[in-house]
């Protein structure tokens, strides 16, 4: 169905991207806009769901290999630990505790698009570790990498990306992301990154379609955010959460599917969107990997795997990359 457009002026990136995504065909919304205050809370609930294995598996890796990972990161002159997409820091706390207790010199620099998440993280960590040297930064990965490339210090930097966040990118964009990180790395810098592994398709699909409906609420919350921020009238009950997994490509996708012909007004954008029955909005991609794919991605980006750590079920792997 056609969408009525008008000439636009955008005050924020959020407005611009929502307009572009909902007036495209097929329609899409970036998953980065899931994370407002409500979205943050819902994702914390997701991470504790029995079906959502990723958090527990990576926590096991960090808990089991803490000392070895800390030794890899350490440097005589100290180091900066830059975490992209820090969230609530549940897994990182295991490593931070070891570094602080063993008086290893470092500065923790958590980055997140959500200021709400950063405020909560800073409060929790400084209560737990008052001596922690911590500098938070709100922003996108692009902004963070731009600042990292401008650094004047030769101090070792470890860039950490947990939770298989790279899975939100297709392979082409993942290679670009890894290449952008490489450009900002010095010879002794490291990249520590989590990759969710290919496994039983039912295990993967259940992680994105939990029995309690929390993931559905998380996906639909982006519509609620649009309603609030852009004076829109999405009826959440008229959209169905639908995840898919393709074992051939290792790609999980999530959609919000319109259950009927309907029109939605976004008054702050002076925009009316038409949906046909069963038309979709693509909201998320979550790529799954194996060692061969990760080695290929690294090679294409000018990186190499120096060591890797895996949980006991072989569900999840954290890889340590260095610059070639």
Chain segment 272-294, per-residue pLDDT in tens: 999 999 999 999 999 999 999 99
Count of all residues that appear for the chain in the document: 324
Sign of CA dihedral 177, 182, 183, 189: positive
Give residues with Cβ within 8 angstroms of 226, minimum separation 6.
Answer: 18, 232, 234, 266
Q: Strands, DSSP E only, in the chain?
A: 27-28, 79-84, 106-112, 137-138, 156-161, 190-196, 239-246, 251-258, 262-266, 271-275, 280-287, 303-310, 316-323
Going by C-alpha positions, the residue among 145, 161, 156, 181 that lies closest to residue 301 is 181
Chain segment 90-148, per-residue pLDDT in tens: 899 999 999 999 999 999 999 988 888 899 999 999 999 999 999 999 888 777 778 77
Going by C-alpha positions, the residue among 157, 90, 95 that lies closest to residue 121 is 90
DSSP string, 151-217: -----EEEEEE-TTGGGGS-HHHHHHHHHHHHHT--TT-EEEEEEEBP--HHHHHHHTS-TTSHHHH
C-alpha angle 259-46-275 in degrees, rounded to nearest 5: 20
Residue 2: pLDDT band (50, 70, 90) is: very low
Q: Which CATH class is domain 65-197+289-323?
A: alpha beta
What pLDDT is recorded for position 5? 54
Going by C-alpha positions, the residue among 159, 199, 153 that lies closest to residue 301 is 159
CA distances from 280 to 45, 214, 260, 261 (A): 25, 20, 11, 12
**3-state SS assignment for residue 323:** strand
For the chain, domain boundaries: 13-49+213-287, 65-197+289-323
Taking the CA atoms of the chain, what radius of gyration do you get in angstroms?
Answer: 20
C-alpha angle 307-250-164 in degrees, rounded to nearest 5: 45
Dist CA 115 CA 177 (whole Å): 23
Q: How much is the mean pLDDT over the chain?
A: 94
Summarize the confidence of residues 290-317 as an average pLDDT.
Answer: 98
User: Which tokens sit at 47?
Assistant: 């991470």
Helix H or strand E segment including 297 = helix 291-301
Chain segment 14-59, per-residue pLDDT in tens: 999 999 999 999 999 999 999 899 998 999 899 999 999 999 999 9
1 pLDDT above the threshold of 50 = no
Dist CA 282 CA 136 (whole Å): 31
Per-residue buried b or exposed e for 121-141, using 16+ beta carbons within 10 Å of the residue's own CB: bbeebeeebeebebebebbeb
62 pLDDT above the threshold of 90 = yes
Chain segment 168-177, per-residue pLDDT in tens: 999 999 999 9
């Amino acid at each position: 169905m056609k969408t009525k457009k008008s000439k636009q002026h955008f005050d924020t990136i959020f407005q611009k991207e929502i307009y572009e995504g909902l007036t495209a065909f097929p329609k899409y919304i970036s998953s980065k806009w899931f994370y407002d205050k409500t979205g943050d809370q819902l994702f914390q609930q997701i991470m504790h769901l029995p079906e959502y294995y990723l958090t527990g598996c990576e926590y096991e890796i960090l808990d089991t290999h803490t000392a070895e990972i800390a030794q890899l990161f350490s440097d005589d002159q100290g180091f900066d630990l830059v975490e992209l997409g820090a969230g609530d820091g549940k897994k990182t706390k295991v490593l931070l505790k070891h570094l602080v207790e063993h008086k290893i010199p470092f500065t923790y620099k958590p980055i997140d698009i959500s200021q709400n998440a950063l405020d909560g993280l800073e409060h929790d960590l400084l209560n737990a570790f008052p001596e922690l040297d911590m500098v938070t930064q709100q922003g996108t990965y692009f902004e963070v990498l731009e600042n990292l490339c401008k650094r004047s210090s030769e101090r070792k930097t470890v860039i950490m990306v947990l939770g298989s966040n790279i899975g939100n990118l297709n392979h082409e964009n993942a290679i670009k992301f890894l290449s952008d990180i490489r450009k900002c790395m010095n010879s002794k810098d490291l990249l520590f990154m989590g990759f969710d592994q290919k496994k039983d398709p039912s295990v993967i699909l259940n992680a994105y379609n939990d029995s309690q409906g929390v993931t559905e609420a998380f996906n639909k919350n982006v519509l609620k955010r649009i309603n609030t921020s852009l004076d829109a009238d999405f009826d959440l009950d008229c959209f169905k959460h639908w995840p898919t997994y393709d074992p051939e490509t290792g790609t999980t996708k999530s959609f919000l599917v319109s259950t009927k012909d309907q029109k939605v007004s976004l008054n702050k954008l002076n925009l009316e969107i038409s949906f046909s029955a069963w038309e979709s909005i693509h909201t998320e991609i979550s790529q799954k990997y194996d060692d061969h794919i990760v080695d290929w991605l690294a090679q294409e980006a000018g990186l190499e795997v120096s060591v890797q750590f895996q949980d006991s079920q072989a569900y999840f792997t954290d890889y340590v990359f260095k610059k070639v």
